[in-house]
Amino acid sequence: MDTECGLFFLKQAFCALCLIASPLVAADELVIPKIDGTPTLADFENMAPGTDLARSMVKVTDFIQREPVDGRPATRQTEVYLGHDTKTLYVIFLAFDDEPDKIRAHMVPREDINDDDTLNILIDSFNDQRRAYMFRCNPLGIQWDGTWSEQSSFDESFNAVWRSEGRVNDQGYQVRMAVPFKAFRFAGGDRQVWGIMFNRDIPRLNEEGYWPRYTNRIQGRLNQAQKTVIEGNLSQGRNHQYIPYATARSFELLDDDSAEFIDDDFDGDAGIDAKFVINDNMVVDVAANPDFSQVESDDPQITTNQRFEVFFPERRPFFLENADIFGGPINLVFTRRIADPSAGVRLTGKAGKYGIGTFVIDDEAPGKVAAPGSSGDGDRTHIGVVRITRDVLSQSKVGITYTGREFDDRWNHVFATDGRILVDENWSANYALIGSKTEDEDGTTRNGHLATFYMDREARNWDAHIHASDTHEEFETQLGFLRRVAQRPGLSNIHARTNYDFWPENSKIVNWGPAASYNYGYDRNSGKRLDAGGDVEMKVEMVGKTEIEIGFEFNKERVTPDDFDALVADKDFNYESLEFEFETARWKAAELGLSVAYGEEPNFEPAEGREPELADFMAARAGMQLRPIPPLRIDLTYLYIQLEDKEGGERIFEERIGRGRVNWQFTRELSMRMILQYESLAVDPLRTALERERGINGDLLFTWLVNPWTSLYVGYNSNWRNVQIIDDEFGRRVIRTDSDLEKDAHQFFLKFSYLL
């Protein structure tokens, strides 16, 4: 695609779509009154409004099931009372239950409530039926917050400062939420029109109840929200906040490159994140040496024998405000590509029908790892991103995106337009047209493009997804994340999936049904098939959050000499596997999960000079979560994968990961967490280039978390591996051994941040 011509086309497409009409709104209104006072749970003693203040709040009741029986009244009564003053929205939930001893309520860390009974309020504060804020609690008032996007579902990275409390009684439980208006963004004016929805989840009954009714017979959530009016000027109070932080650590670690231990008795750092709210709906984030430390460890994943990159979610505060604005059909802003910035500025928000997101930031990491004396040694990477979206039609939007990255006279620029169009109550269409221009180290300039289009159908019984994409071989996005199956450079791809669910009534089976998918990828220049395959499966969901899935997967995969030096010609692999998955949360104090896959898989890590070969394959994952008493949670995870030679049955490699995590929640603010993880990779060096590895990692962390921005972390981490330092004719180096494990790293650290 010619770059100038492509950009002209994208501009014209965007402008044309901007002329289409604005969203529709429902006629009925819920009015939230202004109240004189601050309601508490004491105002609702005996699960009823008992004071004049409580009775002045508007009442919502008559929740309707979405699952398991769509449209049927909820089996347990729920009442919601709402009121506001100039600074805060107050929500009181009364959740009745005739079996209060079966209510699931645990004292857990913030946002770790997904397995409990929960109550929530969803607020579409711009009433645009595209994006909303959710505030959610378990029966003890433990908080969870996030955002909902009609295009990309929930984003749990959003954090806000709000107050909540809850208690269980002999009639059910009560929850109080006090959400300051400064916790979220909305349009200005003395009359607010929002969309609001309430939800109650009862895991033991597999029941989701909503007000107003939220049916799964049509696509969309916010188009089914209640139009809600709040009269009077609302105040967000102070429109700026500052979050200074400081870290300190003492550490020692083995550097594999130099074969020397690096240590520091005191390694300190400090910085500040600042936030400024403009006109209640735009936010400027400014950071000096921003807090990019990550205290929580990522969940274990098997990465052995994987040809493509594994995705990890973003957790760092600077990127979390309005993060979904940067989303689209293709992930062009994968912020974990930015490792070590010294400063950044970010603007996000919504003005009328327009959503705006932009940031500029540097990254010192590439310059730090560049070879000493090279042209990039010590240089910073300069990064800039701009995204603008516009609402069109009902629940539809279009957008344009630019990303740029420059380092050592090398650069990558990406321009895109995309959109989501709601076709009818069940079907939506999504598209993205993207162009890239890249200059390499030798001065060579490459132009490429990516085009993708897909349609989704969502309904109670039949769901479907149809997707086509084409990625030019010179396309590159250095800040994005491309899915390996459909979007790798040089590939054209068509794939589809569908499922049909049956919902029997008055049965221990909640729903069941078949699903199938198919994928076909081919070289866009030669037309040669590269990947093809699919799967068929049967799923059964039963009461007690119990699911069973049985599936069969088949694949055709072609690798080329460009993929493996040992190949002199293309090589085809045809392989199949059977899969079984089981998980249950039937018991209040325990959850179990197990998955097993068995069949064939190529060995993509052959020994040097050998071609990849098809091998027998088995993988398993087992998990158990125990909650014997409310403050204690124990998580046990075991991962296993094995490849064996098909002819002789000899083992090629065998990897095991065992992980135990114990969390004790002393209070809502104070907790202790311990993690012990063991990894082992046994290999046959004649059949694979992988090295034998064994290791143990121990982690102890004390957390005092007042809110997402005021916290204190004190921790210790230690690591052991099967390594040894030797001096031989090749010099001083680190080798893997079969001997006992040696400590190769440990650190003590402290991190403190405070919301001013």
8 A C-beta contact, residue 171 and residue 97:
yes
Q: Is residue 697 one of the residues assigned to a domain?
A: no
Which of 468, 524, 540, 457 minimizes the C-alpha distance to 491? 524
Residue 714: exposed, middle, or buried by beta-carbon count in 10 A (0-12, 13-18, 19+)? middle
76 has a pLDDT exceeding 90: yes
- DSSP assignment string, 385-419: EEEEEEEETTTEEEEEEEEEEEETTEEEEEEEEEE
Q: Answer yes or no: are the C-beta atoms of 164 and 172 closer than 8 Å.
A: no
- Per-residue pLDDT, 739: 76
| Residue indicated by tokens 């089914």 | 224
Is the model's pLDDT at 306 over the cut of 80? no
What phi and psi, each to the nearest 5 degrees, are found at residue 324? -70, -15
Confidence of residue 747 (pLDDT cuts 50, 70, 90): very high
Share of the chain above pLDDT 70, in %: 92
Residue 753 has pLDDT above 50, yes or no: yes
pLDDT band at 310 (very low <50, low <70, confident <90, very high): low
Q: What pLDDT was estimated at residue 315?
A: 67
Strand pairing class (529-542; 509-523): antiparallel
Which pLDDT band holds residue 302 (cuts at 50, 70, 90)?
Answer: low
Q: 485 falls in which pLDDT band (50, 70, 90)?
A: low
Task: Note the pLDDT of residue 240.
Answer: 85
- pLDDT category at 754 given cuts 50, 70, 90 is very high
For residue 134, tell me if it sits in a domain.
yes
d(CA 431, CA 539): 30
Domain extent, residue 38, equals 33-231
How many C-beta neighbours within 10 Å does residue 528 have?
A: 11
CA dist 643 and 649 (Å) reads 9
Selected residue with higher pLDDT from 234 and 41: 41
Tell me which range, 109-113, 279-283, 319-323, is most confidently predicted by mean pLDDT.
109-113
Q: What would the two tokens of residue 521 be? A: 């990828």
The stretch 57-78 carries a mean pLDDT of 96
CA distance 386 to 348: 10
Higher pLDDT, 226 or 506: 226
487 confidence band (pLDDT: 50, 70, 90): low
Q: What is the pLDDT of residues 555-581, one digit of tens each?
A: 999 988 888 888 889 999 999 999 999
Residue 512 lies in a domain: no
Does 12 have pLDDT greater than 50? no
Quick: pLDDT tens for 165-204: 999 999 999 999 999 998 998 887 788 999 999 999 999 9
Residue pair 720/696 in contact by the 8 Å Cβ criterion: yes
Query: Tokens 């950071």 map to which residue?
Result: 287
Domain-embedded: residue 348: no
Q: What is the pLDDT of residue 305?
A: 65
336-374 pLDDT, tens digit each: 888 888 899 999 998 889 999 999 999 988 888 787 878
Instruction: Please report where in the chains the tokens 């398993």 appear, as a residue.
Output: 620
3-state secondary structure of 320: coil
Q: How far is CA 738 from the centre of its chain?
A: 38
Distance CA 751, CA 731 (A): 39
Cβ proximity of 756 and 242 under 8 Å: yes
- Mean pLDDT value across residues 325-332: 88
**pLDDT tens across 530-547, in order?**
899 999 999 999 998 999
Look at residue 24 and tell me whether its pLDDT is greater than 50.
Answer: no
Quick one: which of 315, 312, 379, 323 has its CA closest to 346? Answer: 323
What is the rounded average pLDDT for all residues in the chain? 89
| Residue 641: pLDDT over 90 | yes
Chain centroid offset of residue 141 CA: 23
Is the pLDDT reported for residue 640 higher than 80?
yes
Closest residue by Cα to residue 516 from 551, 555, 467: 551
Is a pLDDT exceeding 70 seen at residue 9? Answer: no
Q: Residue 157: what are its φ and ψ, rounded to 5°? A: -75, -20
CA angle (415, 419, 421) in 5-degree steps:
170
Q: Token digits for 344? A: 């950044």
**pLDDT score recorded for residue 164:** 97
Tell me, yes or no, whether 455 lies in a domain.
no
Q: Which residues contact 713 (CB under 8 A, 6 or more apart)?
A: 295, 701, 702, 703, 704, 749, 750, 751, 752
pLDDT band at 295 (very low <50, low <70, confident <90, very high): low
Model confidence at 296, pLDDT cuts 50, 70, 90, reads: low
How many C-beta atoms lie closer than 10 Å to residue 369's C-beta? 11
Work out how many domains the chain is built from and give that number.
1
Q: What pLDDT does 368 receive?
A: 84
CB atoms within 10 A of CB 655: 21
Least confident of 301-305, 491-495, 644-648: 301-305
Which range is least confidently modeled, 14-23, 292-301, 735-744? 14-23
Least confident of 62-71, 307-316, 479-488, 494-503: 307-316
pLDDT > 90 in the chain, percent = 67
| 101, part of any domain | yes
pLDDT tens-digit profile of 687-721? 999 999 999 999 999 999 999 889 999 999 999 99
SS3 content of the chain, % helix, strand, coil (to 5): 10, 55, 35
Provide the pLDDT confidence category of residue 443 given band limits of 50, 70 and 90.
confident
Q: What is the CATH number of the domain that holds 58?
A: 2.60.40.1190
- For the cut 50, the answer to whether the pLDDT of residue 2 exceeds it is no
410 within 8 A of 443, measured Cβ to Cβ = no
Kindly give the residue spans of alpha helices, DSSP state H, lying in 431-574: 484-487
3-state secondary structure 210-223: EECCCCCCCCCCHH
Residue 206 domain-assigned? yes
Average pLDDT over every residue of 46-54: 96
Euclidean distance between CA atoms 203 and 329, whole angstroms: 32
Mean per-residue pLDDT for 73-87?
A: 96
| C-alpha to C-alpha distance for 572 and 609, rounded to whole angstroms | 18
- pLDDT tens track for 230-273: 987 787 666 788 999 999 999 999 988 888 999 999 989 899 98
**Dihedral of CA 363/365/369/372: which sign?**
positive
The owner of tokens 């609690």 is 137
- Of 78-87, 290-299, 312-321, least confident by mean pLDDT is 290-299
Provide the pLDDT confidence category of residue 13 given band limits of 50, 70 and 90.
Answer: very low
Query: Tokens 């049965």, residue?
Result: 507
Residue 441 within a domain:
no
DSSP 81-146: EEEE-SSEEEEEEEEE-S-GGG-------TT--TTS-EEEEEEETT--SSEEEEEEE-TT--EEEE
β strands within 408-461, DSSP E: 410-422, 427-439, 445-457
pTM of the entire predicted model: 0.84
* pLDDT tens digits, one per residue of 124-176: 999 999 899 999 999 999 999 999 988 777 888 788 999 999 999 999 999 99
